[in-house]
């Protein structure tokens, strides 16, 4: 079976952060976070719209 990065980190007791840089949107952030993402870098999504609204959309994702 294929482990997601967060699961692998937990099972092996690794101590690192998982980061994704690029392509982060309000449509895919939740699945990334659910699979262990710690740091998301989202430039285009934020700056290709109303910055405050775009940032708020990302902040609301849990």
Mean pLDDT of 18-46: 95
Instruction: Say if residues 56 and 44 touch (Cβ distance below 8 Å).
Output: no
pLDDT above 60 for 23: yes
What's the chain's average pLDDT?
93
- Which is more confidently placed, 48 or 1? 48
From CA 42, how far away is CA 14, in angstroms rounded?
25
Map residue 39 onto helix, strand or coil.
strand
Residue with more model confidence, 40 or 2: 40
Number of helices (H), then strands (E), in the chain: 4, 2
Q: What total number of domains does the chain contain?
A: 1
- Do 38 and 19 touch, CB atoms closer than 8 A? yes
Provide the whole-model pTM. Answer: 0.81
As a whole number of angstroms, the distance between CA 9 and CA 17 comes to 9
Q: What's the domain range around 32?
A: 5-59
């Amino acid at each position: 079976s294929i482990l997601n990065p967060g699961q692998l980190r937990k099972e092996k007791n690794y101590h690192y952060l998982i980061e994704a840089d690029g392509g982060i949107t309000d449509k895919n952030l939740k699945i990334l976070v659910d699979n262990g993402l710690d740091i998301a870098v989202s430039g285009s999504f934020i700056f290709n719209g109303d910055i405050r609204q775009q940032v708020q959309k990302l902040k609301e994702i849990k």
